[in-house]
Amino acid sequence: MNVRAGVPEPKLHRPSVPGVTIGVLAAGFWLVYGISRGATGYGDSASYIALADAISRGLTVDTVRAPGYPLFIAFCRGLAALLGTDELRVLVVAQVILCAGLSTYLVYDIGWRLTQRRSVGTIAALLMAADVDLQHFTSAVVSESLSVALAVGSLWLRIRDQSWRRAAWLIAALVLTRPNLVFLPLAFAVGEAVRTRRILGALRPLWPTAVVTGVWLVGTVLRGGDPLTASEYFGPLHAFGKVYESKLWREIPDAGEREVVADAKRRGLDVYQAAAAVADAPGGWKNLASVASDVVRVDPIGYLRACVDVVPRELRQRTYWPRGTQSWGRSARFGERFSWMERWWRPVYHTAFYGSFPLFLGLLALAWLNGLGWPGAVRAMRDTLVPFVAVLFFSVAMLSLGVEEVARLALSFHPVNGLVWALALGRTWEALRVRASQPA
Backbone torsions φ then ψ of 400, nearest 5 degrees: -155, 165
Query: Same structural domain for residues 35 and 129?
Result: yes
User: Binning pLDDT at 50, 70 and 90, where does residue 328 land?
Assistant: low
Is residue 5 in some structural domain? Answer: no
Q: State which amino acid sits at residue 227.
A: P
Query: What distances in angstroms separate CA 439 from CA 430, 432, 434, 435, 436, one per listed residue?
Result: 16, 13, 10, 9, 8
The stretch 61-87 carries a mean pLDDT of 91
Query: What is the residue-averaged pLDDT of the chain?
Result: 87
Query: Same structural domain for residues 396 and 288?
Result: no
Query: What distances in angstroms separate CA 272 from CA 21, 66, 285, 320, 403, one per listed residue?
Result: 44, 20, 12, 20, 10
User: Binning pLDDT at 50, 70 and 90, where does residue 148 land?
Assistant: very high
The stretch 392-397 carries a mean pLDDT of 94
What is the spatial distance between Cα 152 and Cα 59, in angstroms, rounded to a whole number? Answer: 32
User: Binning pLDDT at 50, 70 and 90, where does residue 9 land?
Assistant: very low
User: Binning pLDDT at 50, 70 and 90, where does residue 155 land?
Assistant: very high
Query: Same structural domain for residues 30 and 175?
Result: yes
pLDDT for residue 81: 93
Query: Same structural domain for residues 217 and 243?
Result: no
Query: Same structural domain for residues 294 and 366?
Result: no
pLDDT for residue 2: 44
Q: What percent of the chain has a predicted confidence (pLDDT) above 90?
A: 50
List the single range of 2-6, 22-26, 318-322 with lowest mean pLDDT.
Answer: 2-6
Per-residue b or e along 11-21, where b marks 16 or more CB atoms closer than 10 Å to that residue's CB: eeeeeeebbbe
In this predicted model, what pLDDT tens digit does every residue of 260-318 receive, in sequence order? Answer: 888 888 888 888 888 888 777 665 545 677 788 888 888 899 989 989 999 999 998 77
Query: Same structural domain for residues 347 and 213?
Result: yes
Q: Which domain holds residue 271?
A: 228-298
Is residue 197 in some structural domain? Answer: yes
Query: Same structural domain for residues 122 and 172?
Result: yes
Query: Same structural domain for residues 398 and 280?
Result: no
Query: Same structural domain for residues 150 and 24?
Result: yes
Is residue 7 in some structural domain? Answer: no
Single pTM value for the model: 0.91
pLDDT at 54 over 60: yes
The count of domains in the chain is 2
The stretch 196-218 carries a mean pLDDT of 89
Last residue of a domain, one of 298, 328, 355: 298
User: Binning pLDDT at 50, 70 and 90, where does residue 379 land?
Assistant: very high
Query: Same structural domain for residues 49 and 178?
Result: yes
Is residue 434 in some structural domain? Answer: no
Query: What distances in angstroms separate CA 27 from CA 93, 119, 194, 241, one per listed residue?
Result: 9, 21, 40, 37
Is residue 305 in some structural domain? Answer: no
The stretch 68-92 carries a mean pLDDT of 94
Query: Same structural domain for residues 103 and 236?
Result: no
Is residue 435 in some structural domain? Answer: no
pLDDT for residue 327: 67
pLDDT for residue 243: 86
Query: Same structural domain for residues 233 and 202?
Result: no
Is residue 402 in some structural domain? Answer: yes
User: Binning pLDDT at 50, 70 and 90, where does residue 10 land?
Assistant: very low
Is residue 59 in some structural domain? Answer: yes
Last residue of a domain, one of 239, 263, 298: 298
Ordered DSSP codes for 140-154 = BSSTHHHHHHHHHHH
